[in-house]
Structure formats: C-alpha cells, structure tokens
A and B are shown apart, each in its own frame.
Chain A
Amino acid sequence: MKHAITPELKEKKNSSVNSKTIKWFIGSMSLLLIVLLFLLPVIRLFIMSFKNDDQFSFINYTTILAEASTWSMLRNTIIVVIGSTLLALVIGITLAWIIAYTDVRWKKVMQVLIIIPFVIPSYIVTIAWTQFTGSIDFIDINLKSHLGIIFVLGTSHFPLVYLFTVNVLKRIPKELEWAVRSSGGSKWVAFKEVTIPLALPGIVGGGMIAFLSNLDNFGIPAILGIPANITVLSTAIYQEVIGFGPNAFARAATLSVILAIVALLGSGLQWFLLKKSKVNETASVDDSPRYTLGRRKKWLEIVVWIFLVGISIIPLVSMVKTSLIRAYGLEFIRENITLKHYRYVLFEYDKAIQSMGTSLKLALITTIFCIVFGTIIAYIRMRKPSVIMRFVEVIVGFPYALPGTVMALSMIFAWMQPIPGWNPGIYGTIWILLIAYITRFMILQVRGSMTAISQVSMDLEEAAHVFGANTLDKWKVILLPLLLPGIISGAFLVLLTTLTELTVSSLLWSSGTETIGVVIYNFEQSGYTTHSTAFSVVVLAMMLVLALIVYGIQYVWKWRLNKG
C-alpha cells in the first residue's frame, strides 16, 4: 500500500490489532469445538475398546476374536462387501461407458433412473425388492441369502461408481482415442490402452465409495440378513448394543474399531491408488457421442431400458401394490384393494405420525445448521487455505467416513457422560439424534459449498471490494446469489439423507423420538409388511415433493440470474 497513513487509518490499524486478537480467539474456540464434537467421540470409542474394569487391556479383542461367530461374521462381511462392490463396479462402469460415449437417446431420463436406487433409502429399496421377488411365482428367489444381500447392495450402490466414472470418461479428450486409431490401434486397443487407464481414478474412486457404502450399510443386511442369520459387521454391532448383554458396549466398541479399521484401510488404499494417477480436472467435459452404434443402437437401448426400469421402477411398483392390498398374501384384484394401511400410518398410528414430525424437525434444523456452518467452513477452507483448515476438513469428514453404526456408538459414549460423573441428559432424548445428524452430515454441506465456491472466481469478490462493497454487501449482492444454487444442492442432500436416516437412528432413538426410518424398520421386523410398504410409499411421496420444491427454487433462481 502506497497510501500515506492518515490519522484515521492509524486508528484503524490499532483497532485491527484488537480485532485480530478477537479473531484469533474465535478461531481457536471454533477449532476446539470442532475437535470436541467431531474427533473426540471417535477417540473415546477407540479407548473404550481397550478398557476392561477401567484397566487397559486387550481382553475385548482376544475374547471376540476367539469366538467362532466372529469369524463367520467377518467371512460374511467379506463375501457380501466384495461381491456387491464387484457388482456395483460392473454395472456402474458399463452404464457410464454407454452414457458417456455412445449415441443412445434419452440419456437424461436414463440418468434419472440410474440415480433412483441411490436416492431412495436402502431399507425402502430392500422392502421393495422383497415384495417384487415375493410376487414372482415361477421362480423361487430367496433374497434373504448372501446372493440376495449382494444383489440389493450392488444395485443400490452402482450409481456411485457410475457417477464417478461417467465424469472422468467425459473428461478424457476424444483426440486421445483418435490418436490411437491414427497410430493403427483398433477401438479395442483404444479402450484397453487409453480409456481404461485414464478412467482409473474415477473407477477406483467410485469403487472405493461403493465398497465403503456396502460395508457401512445397515438397512439391507438388517432386513435381509438378520432373519437368515447372516450377520455382518454393521448388524453385529447393532445386535450387541440392543442385546444389552454384559460388556455389550465394550464388545460393540471393539467390533466398531475392527469395522473402522477395514473402512480406513479402504480409504487408504484409494488415497494410495489415486495419489499416483494424474487426473486432468481442467479438461473440459465433452458430451458429444464418440461411438455411433448404427443398427445396434436400438438393441442396446432396449437392453438398457429393461435393466433400468427393472431395477429402479418395478420393485417400487410391487411395493405400492403390497401397500394397497387388504391383507398380505392376497391376490391383487379390485376387491382386495384398500387404502386402509395408508389411513392407519397417516392418521391412526401415533408413532408413525409422530415420527414424521420428528424426522422433519430434525432434518430441517440439521440442514439449517449445516448450511450456515458448513458454508463458513467451506469458505474459509477455499479462500484462506492452511494446514489447520485442511485438518478441519478431514475432522469434519470423519463422522461421515465412519460406518454409521460405529459413529452412533461413539455418540453414545461421548454424550452419556461427556465428563465422567456428569450426565447432561442428552443421551436418550432427541438432542443426541440432532447432534449426531449435524456432525455426521456436515461434510456433505461443506463439500457442496466448496464446489459452489470454487466456481466463483476470486476476482468477482475483489471486484466487489474495489467498487466499494463491504463484506456484508459482498455476501448479500455477489456471493449468495452466485453460490445459492450450489449451496441448495448440498443442503438438499443433507435434508433428504437426514429425513430418511436409519443406521445412526437405529442405535440412538428412544421411545417418543422414533424417526421415519426406525418406524419403517420396526414395522418390517414385526412382520407388518402392508404397513411398512404403505409408510415407505408415503415417505417416497414426501421426498418427491421436497425434490420438486428444491428443483423449482433452483430453476427460478437460475432463470432470474440468466435474465438479470
């Protein structure tokens, strides 16, 4: 700055020293709070697994690992997780290649159908699949088996592989494939030597997320596995906790550490694989088709449509049919159709009505918290990157990276007695759910807002300051209008995920604070299939309405922005 220092400016300098101390104080307090909320519970869980009678010991591990049931449970976990991840990879990569490179029509509609199984809560998808397979008479399909769990997990999580891969595929410049062709290589050589190696970051990234999701998932192995005595890590922890046996918490903590280690190994492997590859993030997306299929196009389209409709729509139709039937098992004919199950879950059964209120309330408050604090964290992380902020990003992501059951258990330990001897009465109330949701899903908003902020270049902000705007004006007039669509996308994800959450809720709910997921799961467990299907349909309708509202807001906003 070349300006002469006027008295006025001098004064400002003094006050800025003062405000620097305040800033520093606020900063370190926030950091402390983030560590306490996001990191400490996990550390306590870890310590808990090494405790026996207040003494440090490995006894929890030695006992658990000595039990035969643990090993069969671990074997189940490996079979189910690896099988479903492979399935997700095969489906996800195939669809990504077709959508990114071929000239099939109606790609946008296909993409919506691809996302459906991922957006719908997995326990609802599972209920839908059991209804569908139950309705087929000519083959006896038993979903309550290893293969069944693999199938439902794989078809629920392939969209993750798809989303990661399709974006990377579209960013591979087509000239790289053309260079192979003009060097004498065939289409197959181009695919093998260039497309696959360059798409690897996307494939590995998507595959790892699918792996973690398969490992973490509770709804699917709970509904399909528990009745068939197929226990995996996530359901094993749940059963320990609700079993309330002696040492239940310590045992659950031990299993959690094992599960977390598997999950962390997965994340570490991904980090290792991706570190070596060079992703060209700056390459622009090329949407134009690269392979004209000619006469084969029609056939491929038919196959894709049958697959997508079969996987996304038909199970849901079966579920709707079950929800309309007078009594489970009756034929679907006019005399047997009734709305009484809907009447029951919407107006008669208090717990169902109450759970909708609870979940909506929790989802809204969580979303608002995440929007405010997630965006602040994202902004500081993007605009003033530092080691501390990268650390903050990692910590905030921790509760989400952990399997849900592990995360829930760590919440119980952290809030039952935050300081030994002091029980603030949070565990067993709705507050623990709120705290758990906010800490678990904060990272979704942080990521969403970070993406939005990265798309607004720094000079736009500098320009605002140059033309005389202060920080508040800048946010009001420049940043918020530009960031809003991105922030809303993140917030919408938080809202939907929270609204239908089951894994964390299944361990943290108490009488009177049942969430939607818990009520549907309890219906299903108690065999009230007509009620669980009816309530699932209601929840899907709710999600659809929310999606339409959010889509409408974004549409109007973008339209206004383009017009203005």
Chain B
Amino acid sequence: MSTILKDVKKTFGNFQALKGIDLTIGDGEFVAIVGPSGCGKTTLLRLIAGFEEPTAGQIYMHDELIASATTCVAPEKRNLGMVFQAFALWPHMKVKEQVAFPLKYHRFAEASLKENKAKRVEEMLMLVGLQDFAERMPGDLSGGQKQRVAIARALAPSPALLLMDEPLSSLDAKLRIELRNEIQTIHRKTNTSIVYVTHDQSEALAMADKIVVMNNGTIEQVGTPKEIYFTPRTEFVARFIGKANVLKGRWHENYFYPLEKEDVKWQVPNVTDSMKMQSICPIRPEQLSLSKSGNGLSGVVRNVLFQGRETHFTVDIGTALIDIVESIDASFQVGDQVIVHPKEQKSKLM
C-alpha cells in the first residue's frame, strides 16, 4: 500500500515546475516535503492529489497507475484525504457536517464507518479535541480549531494517504507547536501515510520519518531528519535545513583549511565527499565558537541577537558573514575583534 512517483515532470507553459521526481511513500510513513516557495512542492502534492495532471512520468498508488501524461484518475477515485493551507472549510456547513461529508461520499471508507456516521464523527472530533464544537459554524471557530476540523474531516474516512499542504502556516507560533504535537500523535494512532508539505525546516525535522528537500523543481536529498541535518549532501540542503555557513577553503586529509589559510586547520565531522570535491565546508552556527584570541578566522562582530536560551552572533570575516550560536555567557559586543573557530568536538556528535 504505497505511493510511487516515477520521473514525474510538470510544466506550466514555459516554466518547468517539476523536473523529474522519483519518490516512494511507504505504508504508514510520514514524509515531509520541504523547500523554499516556488520549489515545486505544492505542485507535487497537487499531482498526487489529482488536481493537476503530470506532463510526463507516472504515479502509482497501491500498484495501480493513477496518473501519467495520458491517464488521470479523478481525486475522488484515489484513496486519500487532504488538509489545506487555508483550512478550506465549507462556510455553510456545521462542524459535524464537515466531518460527515467524506463519510457520505468517500468510496474507500469502510462500510462500518459509513453505517455509523454519527459515531465516527464524534470519534474524530474527540481525536482533535473538538467534541463540544459539533454544532458550530466554521465562522465561529478560531484558526487552530478550524485546522483541527480540517484534519478531522480529512481523516474521517480513514484514507490510505493523507496529504497536508502547509497546514500550520496560517497559525501563530504557539498554536503551530501545539498542533505539531497533535498531528504527530494522530499519525501514531492512525498509522496513515502522510505527505506533509512545508517551507519550515524545523517543522519537517520535528515531525517526519523521512524528509524530501526540494529546490527548483528537483529533489536535492531524501533522508531521515538526522541524515538531512547532519550530513547534507548539497550546499542548498546545508543552508536550508541546517542554516549552515558554507565556507570556501581547501580539504586535505580530512582537515579543512578555511579560506585556504595554511595556519588555520579545522576538523569538521560528517562532510560528504561531494562537498569536499567542491572545496566547500558546511558548518552550522552551533558548531562554531568565538574567542578573544587563539587560532581561527579573525573578524568583527556585526550583530548580536540575544535569544534567551542562546545568543546569535554575526561575524564579518572580511570575505563573508558567519553566523554563530553561542551560550548566553559569551559576552561579545558589536564591533569587537573576535576569532571564529569550531567548538570543542564532542565525541557523540561523531
């Protein structure tokens, strides 16, 4: 029961939105597709849903061809549910009617669910904590409640695949964290396969089993959150997921000489060979440290952002700006001369 995309391409006029996507979404898997706006992630989701048709390539669901350049199974004939960015609740229906709707029309919903609609609706509202809101209209709900209804609606027929299109991006920060936990819990409980599209890398890291990083219509890297975070394969992934500084320099015998300085020699773990070939080194802000003196790159502090738990520094080393996360004990001021160097290596990071 998996969904497989084979060399899927999509063009809009002259614009190539997807340039050949190969991806497998396993049974019960939580896959996050992450990338900047315009990278093609939403198009990919719409292709899986059936709202767009691929220009080339094939999409299979449960070993059945559901979309290609010539065939396209209608969305309602695919075994899926969807949660939309702006909720897409029908403004003229009560909460319970929204959730009951797919029970009435979804052709893959089990007969037992369809027969006892009221019970299923109650069950779903309970799952998202809205059992007391069944009679409300969408206009009377807050943003977080609306999204919960949307999730309950999508899950009610127990679809094989749940598609989520930036479901948390129109909510405020606190609610996002709250619903993030909830979606994870729901995923564990229902074990539905989920494809979750987001532009927020921390959301993807926190929730997914598998992350797909997209850029410019292609997949940059697929892997577990830890793989993607610690061993980015491309400069883009390093910058987008780890917010890493990417320094130019020279690699020699597993040591990195930033800016090709012979006297500065860093040991940076988990750098892929492709990065080394390009003579670059991704290094995340928390891997770096600042000192008044010592061996490293010298620079001037340009910006200090106190964050409570930590302090973010931006240091100008002449040829680039480098971001560094330090503990709040670090007391450097804007304009200070500093030395940038990697933090003391902790063995477990290796």
A6 close to B (CB within 8 Å): no
Residues of chain A with a CB closer than 8 A to B89's CB: 179
Give the interface SS of chain A, mostly helix, strand, loop or mixed: helix
Question: Are B109 and A184 in contact, with the CB atoms below 8 A?
Answer: yes
Residues of chain B with a CB closer than 8 A to A282's CB: none
CA distance A178 to B109 in the complex (A): 18
Residues of chain B with a CB closer than 8 A to A180's CB: 76, 101, 105
Question: Are B74 and A175 in contact, with the CB atoms below 8 A?
Answer: no
Question: Are B92 and A178 in contact, with the CB atoms below 8 A?
Answer: no
Question: Are A186 and B74 in contact, with the CB atoms below 8 A?
Answer: yes
B82 close to A (CB within 8 Å): yes
Residues of chain B with a CB closer than 8 A to A198's CB: 90-92
Task: Give the contacting residue for A184; candidates B84, B91, B106; CB below 8 A.
Answer: B106
CA distance A175 to B157 in the complex (A): 19
A86 close to B (CB within 8 Å): no
Which residues 264-281 of A have a CB within 8 angstroms of B?
277-278, 280
CA distance A530 to B76 in the complex (A): 60
CA distance A278 to B138 in the complex (A): 11
B153 close to A (CB within 8 Å): yes
Residues of chain B with a CB closer than 8 A to A183's CB: 76, 81, 101-102, 105-106, 153-154, 157
B139 close to A (CB within 8 Å): yes
CA distance A184 to B107 in the complex (A): 6
Which residues 426-464 of A have a CB within 8 angstroms of B?
none
Question: Are A189 and B75 in contact, with the CB atoms below 8 A?
Answer: no
CA distance A186 to B107 in the complex (A): 11
Which residues 153-170 of B have a CB within 8 angstroms of A?
153-154, 157, 163
CA distance A176 to B86 in the complex (A): 10
A182 close to B (CB within 8 Å): yes
Which residues 175-227 of A have a CB within 8 angstroms of B?
175-176, 178-187, 189, 193-194, 197-198
B306 close to A (CB within 8 Å): no
Residues of chain A with a CB closer than 8 A to B139's CB: 278
What is the minimal beta-carbon distance from A490 to any residue of chain B, in angstroms? 31
Question: Are A179 and B105 in contact, with the CB atoms below 8 A?
Answer: no
CA distance A178 to B157 in the complex (A): 16
Residues of chain A with a CB closer than 8 A to B90's CB: 176, 179, 193-194, 198
Instruction: Closest B residue to A179 by CB, please name it.
Output: B88
B195 close to A (CB within 8 Å): no
A552 close to B (CB within 8 Å): no
- Chain B interface size, under 10 / 10 to 19 / 20 to 34 / 35 or more: 20 to 34
Which residues 120-178 of A have a CB within 8 angstroms of B?
173, 175-176, 178
What is the minimal beta-carbon distance from B101 to any residue of chain A, in angstroms? 5
Residues of chain B with a CB closer than 8 A to A184's CB: 76, 102, 105-109, 157
B290 close to A (CB within 8 Å): no
What is the minimal beta-carbon distance from A210 to any residue of chain B, in angstroms? 24
Instruction: Closest B residue to A185 by CB, please name it.
Output: B105
Bits for B89-117, please: 1 = Cβ < 8 Å to A, else 0.
Answer: 11110000000011001111100000000
Question: Are B86 and A175 in contact, with the CB atoms below 8 A?
Answer: yes
Residues of chain B with a CB closer than 8 A to A280's CB: 91
Residues of chain A with a CB closer than 8 A to B105's CB: 180, 183-186, 189
Residues of chain A with a CB closer than 8 A to B80's CB: 182
Task: Give the contacting residue for B82; candidates A182, A193, A197, A278; CB below 8 A.
Answer: A182
CA distance A198 to B157 in the complex (A): 25
Question: Are B81 and A182 in contact, with the CB atoms below 8 A?
Answer: yes
Residues of chain A with a CB closer than 8 A to B86's CB: 173, 175
CA distance A175 to B84 in the complex (A): 7
CA distance A23 to B82 in the complex (A): 59
B residues in contact (CB < 8 Å) with A: 49-51, 74-76, 80-82, 84-86, 88-92, 101-102, 105-109, 139, 150, 153-154, 157, 163
Given contacts A183-B102, A198-B91, 12 further A-B contacts (CB under 8 A): A173-B86, A178-B75, A179-B88, A181-B50, A181-B75, A184-B106, A184-B108, A185-B105, A186-B105, A193-B90, A197-B92, A278-B139
The 8 closest A-B CB pairs, nearest first, are A184-B106, A183-B102, A182-B82, A175-B88, A181-B75, A184-B105, A179-B88, A185-B105
